A and B are shown apart, each in its own frame.
Chain A
Amino acid sequence: MKNKLIQKIEKAKLVGRGGAGFLTHLKWQAMLDAKSSLKFLVCNGSEGERETYKDGYILTNYPEEVINGMRLAFENLGITKGYIYLKPEYFKIFAKKLKKIIGGLNIEIFEEYGGYLAGEETTLCNVIEGKLAMPRQKPPYPTDQGINNQPTLINNVETLYQISKIAKDKYQNIRFCSLAGEVKNKGVFELPATLTIEEILKQTKNYPNFEFFVQAGGGWSGSILLSSELNQAPAGTSGIIVYRKNSTTVMKLAEKLIDFFVSHNCDKCVPCREGTYRLQEMIKSKKIDELKFKDLIFTLENTSFCPYGKSLVIPFKDIYNKLLKC
């Protein structure tokens, strides 16, 4: 079945803005093709990445566009119920305002209980069903069996905003970049998606005049990039955190990051539950046993149940290779 809006989304090459980078039109097509009398839509405003604020920015400035994106999903895909899934901080700020904009649409504003993993899409389904925040096995994908095993479309806040723009033929390939860390102008900036990290730092008048490195692409799970590696666009959720080289103790940074991952994972699978704990143990002891470290990274990356464990290794590999070994 051809659908004009889906064709437009495909033409725009829109990828999900939650960080995983999946082509949005494929999800929409799967939802359109799904045969069920119940179809759910979730606007994912969990934004669990640390030092990333773009979903909050969009909900502050463009809530109508986001709801319009949801309305389009209702109309084009036969959605029967929608959720706006918000972390507690966002629920407090936005729930009332969003309720007014929703009007007659069957949308529930859902307060999740926070935590990084709660934004992962199969975990999100469990949370909405009132179960423990744990990922589910894929396949089935949520578009087949999501909430209550019914087809469920899960789109990030920014993705729905962009869909609204696409529908109005006003789509410009812009991204919402969170700038954080040691920068003068903190905040979220709307910039062309083609800009490199260096250009972003310069355009936002944030390019440091001191030695630095950045973490880019996904808050605390983003890649660590040296100042010589900034000739590339930020990946994932497009956030950039700037660290001052002289005043950043690398092991302290590593400890801050691993503490976060140890306390935010779901403890379901061995590599992520035990592996992050052993990484933490090693980092806290300030002695990195190279073989052990590499083994832990290996098993996290290759055998974790869900993307959380697979991707959390990124900053640690970078810290080890780029900051500690040199």
Chain B
Amino acid sequence: MLNQKINIKIDGQNFVAQTGETILQVARKNKIDIPSLCYHPDLKVQASCRLCVVEIAGVKGLQTSCMTKVFDGMDVKTKSPQINKARQINLELIFAQHVEECDDCVWLDNCKLLKLAREYKVKIPRFVDRKQKFPVHQFGQSLIFDSKKCIDCGLCVEMCHRQGVDFLERQKKGNFFQVEPSKDPKKDCIYCGQCLVHCPVGAFEAVGEFEAIEKFLKQKNKVVVFQFAPSVRVSIGEEFGLEHGSIVTDQLVGAIKQLGVNYVFDVSVAADTTTIEEAGELLERLKTGKNLPMFTACCPGWVRYVEYFFPEFIPNLTTVRSPQMIMGGLIKTYWAKQQKIDPKNIYVVSVMPCVAKKTEIERPELKIKGIKPVDYVMTTRELARLLKKKNINLTKVKKQPADCPLGEPTGAGVIYGTTGGVMESALRSALYQLTGKKMAKPDFKAVRGNKDIKTAEVKIADKKLKIAVVNGNGNAYKILDELKQNPKAYDYIEVMACPGGCIGGGGQPMPVDDEIRQKRINSLYEIDQSKKIRLAEDSPIIQCLYRDFLVNKKDAELICHTRYYKQKKGNRVLKG
């Protein structure tokens, strides 16, 4: 029977647990440390690292706590000479397949392996590294997979499967199965980076992480402009020891300025533009009945998934550019004109929660009059590393607001960072554009929350809009399958490839789990709630922008819209 309360003992202490839980889950809940590398609460139990072994009174031998369910009266020991010996040997074996490159590792500040090595007095070089000649792979401009560091725990393969992609797979080479990108022409990486945030040993990193983080400092004679994504303000604090989800918008701006950057803009302002354009496009499509349902396209992982795996749905993607691209475009046109700077002399750096954004900026069709709107993307993690390297402590810097004129977003632009956020912002605007009415409480609670797929019927004026919000790319095919059966099942669909939306993105601080994602989400809604202006159209910045600059449709097309294409496979072997 599930969910019955039972009593168990761990290391002599009594705990109440529930049937169906594993020993490891109960231990973690109660802050008892059992080492484990291959367990991630997001994913199915792998039980491959064999570090979480424990002893159970009355049961012969060592048992793995990640796969053993608790029973009433269970008496567990998490420490004994036998247990320690097993952990030590297995750690030594793991080290022998993990070529260390600690300086450059995404886990530098909180590496579980090194912590365990010290704790269990591991002789790291007891065996010769067997993976020294293993290849390094690059996926698009987004991800590096260094298989020399892989410990074969299986989490990335599992995560890639959960994302509905199955690009990473276990292939047999010689005597060993190893993780390899699929050679199947039907499969390719969508660059979501969820493998990276679920890898316990840093075998994945973003392209340029961390060797290229100072590139922008070397841009001679250029005006460097930073822009930061909605979700970064509620995640980067974690890198500096703050509570998960801490809101640090003004500290973030202050810290970037301390790097010597003069202009810092808020991508959420561009998100307000996205919202207006997208709501308008939705109403237009509803009027003509063409290319429905409309799909959001802010998430480059999701866009690539459609372009590569389901090109038949390309016409359904909104033509509106993602906020980072719109902002880059505005900086190099609108702002450049105001400042009388040649756009060629502006260098735009985005701080993004995402590794797919690194590939997005290379798309040729996004160029405006031959110029790339964004020159460089660094992830939340990369910026944090850079700040630490320069001894800039985010928690101590002088708070500063983002710069005018692209610095003050509405609440609608901020919630872009969570699943359901784009949908909610667009619904607020669609209602306004259609009726001229503003809601007293502009909350669409049906699209919020962590469910895999949220569906609802939303009444907008006399229209009933059927909407769906997909949280995590692995759930997208369910909706696409449904659409193949019933093309009119929905009018508008939001998909975010990463669980929880951008707050759970592949460029975000680690570790991450449901609880952490929820805290980040809560903070975004808190910001939205606290804003006086929560409708994109009410933003004075946006009003100016449309009055002075995006005057006719052609201008808006050039800066705010794009096209999509069937994509080719984008992985290659770098070394090995």
Partner of A137, one of B61, B67, B130: B67
Q: Is the CB of A270 within 8 A of B49?
A: yes
- Complex interface: stretch among A165-173, A210-218, A233-241, A293-301: A293-301
Chain B contacts of A69 at CB under 8 A?
Answer: none
From residue 48 to 98 of chain B, which have CB atoms closer than 8 A to chain A? 48-50, 53, 61-62, 64, 67, 82, 85-86, 89-90, 93-94, 96-97
Q: Is the CB of B50 within 8 A of A267?
A: no
Chain A contacts of B307 at CB under 8 A?
Answer: none
Q: Is the CB of A303 within 8 A of B47?
A: no
**A132-B177, A277-B176, A304-B50 known, 9 other contacts, Cβ within 8 Å:** A263-B175, A268-B48, A270-B93, A271-B90, A271-B93, A274-B127, A278-B127, A295-B89, A302-B82
With both beta carbons as reference points, the residue of chain B lying nearest to A289 in the complex is identified as B126
Q: Is the CB of A303 within 8 A of B175?
A: no
B205 within 8 A of A: no
Q: Is the CB of B96 within 8 A of A132?
A: no
Highest count of chain A CB atoms <10 Å: which of B47, B93, B176:
B93
Please encode chain A, from 283 to 322, with 1 for each CB lying within 8 Å of some chain B CB and 0 for all others: 0000000001001101100111100000000000000000
The distance in angstroms between the C-alpha atoms of A267 and B154, with both chains bound, is 10
B170 within 8 A of A: yes
B45 within 8 A of A: yes
B152 within 8 A of A: yes
Q: Is the CB of B170 within 8 A of A132?
A: yes
With both beta carbons as reference points, the residue of chain B lying nearest to A302 in the complex is identified as B62
Chain A contacts of B49 at CB under 8 A?
Answer: 269-270
Chain A contacts of B178 at CB under 8 A?
Answer: 267
Chain A contacts of B97 at CB under 8 A?
Answer: 274
CB pairs A–B below 8 angstroms (10 shown): A132-B177, A137-B47, A262-B175, A270-B49, A270-B50, A270-B151, A271-B50, A273-B176, A281-B127, A299-B93
The distance in angstroms between the C-alpha atoms of A12 and B494, with both chains bound, is 64
Query: Please, how many residues of chain A have a CB less than 8 angstroms from a CB on the other chain?
Result: 25
State the 9 A-B residue pairs at the shortest beta-carbon distance, nearest first.
A274-B93, A267-B177, A303-B50, A299-B89, A295-B89, A263-B175, A302-B62, A137-B67, A270-B90
With both beta carbons as reference points, the residue of chain A lying nearest to B85 in the complex is identified as A298
Chain A contacts of B85 at CB under 8 A?
Answer: 295, 298
Chain B contacts of A132 at CB under 8 A?
Answer: 170, 177
The distance in angstroms between the C-alpha atoms of A132 and B152, with both chains bound, is 15
> With A269-B48, A275-B93, A278-B127 given, is the CB distance from A303 to B86 under 8 Å?
yes
Chain A contacts of B96 at CB under 8 A?
Answer: 274, 278
Chain A contacts of B89 at CB under 8 A?
Answer: 271, 295-296, 298-299
Chain B contacts of A277 at CB under 8 A?
Answer: 130, 175-176
The distance in angstroms between the C-alpha atoms of A275 and B97, with both chains bound, is 11
> With A268-B48, A271-B50, A277-B130 given, is the CB distance from A303 to B90 under 8 Å?
yes
Highest count of chain B CB atoms <10 Å: which of A263, A274, A281:
A274
Q: Is the CB of A269 within 8 A of B176?
A: no
The distance in angstroms between the C-alpha atoms of A296 and B127, with both chains bound, is 12
With both beta carbons as reference points, the residue of chain B lying nearest to A269 in the complex is identified as B48
Highest count of chain B CB atoms <10 Å: which of A295, A302, A304:
A302
The distance in angstroms between the C-alpha atoms of A119 and B177, with both chains bound, is 19
Shortest distance between the CB of B575 and any CB in chain A (Å)? 23
Q: Is the CB of B47 within 8 A of A269?
A: yes
Shortest distance between the CB of A68 and any CB in chain B (Å)? 38
Q: Is the CB of A270 within 8 A of B48?
A: yes
Shortest distance between the CB of A282 and any CB in chain B (Å)? 10
The distance in angstroms between the C-alpha atoms of A292 and B125, with both chains bound, is 13
A266 within 8 A of B: yes
The distance in angstroms between the C-alpha atoms of A298 and B170, with both chains bound, is 27
Q: Is the CB of A305 within 8 A of B94?
A: no
Shortest distance between the CB of A144 and any CB in chain B (Å)? 13
The distance in angstroms between the C-alpha atoms of A295 and B47, with both chains bound, is 20
The distance in angstroms between the C-alpha atoms of A268 and B49, with both chains bound, is 9
Shortest distance between the CB of A104 and any CB in chain B (Å)? 37
The distance in angstroms between the C-alpha atoms of A137 and B82, with both chains bound, is 23
Please encode chain B, from 92 to 112, with 1 for each CB lying within 8 Å of some chain A CB and 0 for all others: 011011000000000000000
From residue 172 to 201 of chain B, which have CB atoms closer than 8 A to chain A? 175-178
Query: Please, how many residues of chain B have a CB less than 8 angstroms from a CB on the other chain?
Result: 30
Chain B contacts of A292 at CB under 8 A?
Answer: 126
Q: Is the CB of B47 within 8 A of A266?
A: no
Q: Is the CB of A137 within 8 A of B62?
A: no
Shortest distance between the CB of B91 and any CB in chain A (Å)? 9
The distance in angstroms between the C-alpha atoms of A302 and B89, with both chains bound, is 11
Q: Is the CB of B47 within 8 A of A305?
A: yes
Q: Is the CB of B50 within 8 A of A269?
A: yes
Q: Is the CB of A305 within 8 A of B127?
A: no
With both beta carbons as reference points, the residue of chain B lying nearest to A300 in the complex is identified as B89
Q: Is the CB of A299 within 8 A of B127?
A: no
Q: Is the CB of B48 within 8 A of A305?
A: yes
Chain B contacts of A296 at CB under 8 A?
Answer: 89
Q: Is the CB of B62 within 8 A of A303?
A: yes
The distance in angstroms between the C-alpha atoms of A303 and B47, with both chains bound, is 10
Shortest distance between the CB of B341 and any CB in chain A (Å)? 57
Shortest distance between the CB of A271 and any CB in chain B (Å)? 6
Please encode chain A, from 237 to 280, with 1 for each CB lying within 8 Å of some chain B CB and 0 for all others: 00000000000000000000000001100111111011101100
The distance in angstroms between the C-alpha atoms of A48 and B97, with both chains bound, is 29
The distance in angstroms between the C-alpha atoms of A181 and B177, with both chains bound, is 32
Q: Is the CB of A305 within 8 A of B50?
A: yes
From residue 127 to 158 of chain B, which have CB atoms closer than 8 A to chain A? 127, 130, 151-152, 154
Q: Is the CB of A266 within 8 A of B177?
A: yes
Shortest distance between the CB of B54 and any CB in chain A (Å)? 11
With both beta carbons as reference points, the residue of chain A lying nearest to B92 in the complex is identified as A295
Chain B contacts of A302 at CB under 8 A?
Answer: 53, 61-62, 82, 86
The distance in angstroms between the C-alpha atoms of A149 and B94, with both chains bound, is 32
Shortest distance between the CB of B333 and any CB in chain A (Å)? 52
Shortest distance between the CB of B301 and any CB in chain A (Å)? 26
The distance in angstroms between the C-alpha atoms of A292 and B49, with both chains bound, is 19
Chain B contacts of A281 at CB under 8 A?
Answer: 127
The distance in angstroms between the C-alpha atoms of A298 and B64, with both chains bound, is 15
The distance in angstroms between the C-alpha atoms of A270 and B126, with both chains bound, is 15
Chain B contacts of A274 at CB under 8 A?
Answer: 93-94, 96-97, 127, 130
Chain A contacts of B62 at CB under 8 A?
Answer: 302-303
Chain A contacts of B47 at CB under 8 A?
Answer: 137, 269, 305
Highest count of chain A CB atoms <10 Å: which of B47, B50, B67:
B50
Partner of B93, one of A137, A262, A268, A278: A278
The distance in angstroms between the C-alpha atoms of A271 and B88, with both chains bound, is 11
Chain A contacts of B154 at CB under 8 A?
Answer: 268
Chain B contacts of A270 at CB under 8 A?
Answer: 48-50, 90, 93-94, 151-152
The distance in angstroms between the C-alpha atoms of A7 and B438, with both chains bound, is 76
The distance in angstroms between the C-alpha atoms of A268 and B46, with both chains bound, is 9
Partner of A303, one of B53, B94, B127, B170: B53
The distance in angstroms between the C-alpha atoms of A299 and B96, with both chains bound, is 15
The distance in angstroms between the C-alpha atoms of A275 and B86, with both chains bound, is 12
With both beta carbons as reference points, the residue of chain A lying nearest to B91 in the complex is identified as A270
The distance in angstroms between the C-alpha atoms of A143 and B437, with both chains bound, is 62
From residue 342 to 397 of chain B, which have CB atoms closer than 8 A to chain A? none
From residue 118 to 154 of chain A, which have CB atoms closer than 8 A to chain B? 132, 137
Shortest distance between the CB of B68 and any CB in chain A (Å)? 9
Shortest distance between the CB of B434 and any CB in chain A (Å)? 48
With both beta carbons as reference points, the residue of chain A lying nearest to B88 in the complex is identified as A295
The distance in angstroms between the C-alpha atoms of A273 and B49, with both chains bound, is 10
The distance in angstroms between the C-alpha atoms of A281 and B85, with both chains bound, is 21
Chain B contacts of A299 at CB under 8 A?
Answer: 50, 86, 89-90, 93
The distance in angstroms between the C-alpha atoms of A304 and B178, with both chains bound, is 18
Shortest distance between the CB of B71 and any CB in chain A (Å)? 12
Shortest distance between the CB of B84 and any CB in chain A (Å)? 12
> With A271-B50, A305-B48 given, is the CB distance from A298 to B86 under 8 Å?
yes
Shortest distance between the CB of A132 and any CB in chain B (Å)? 6
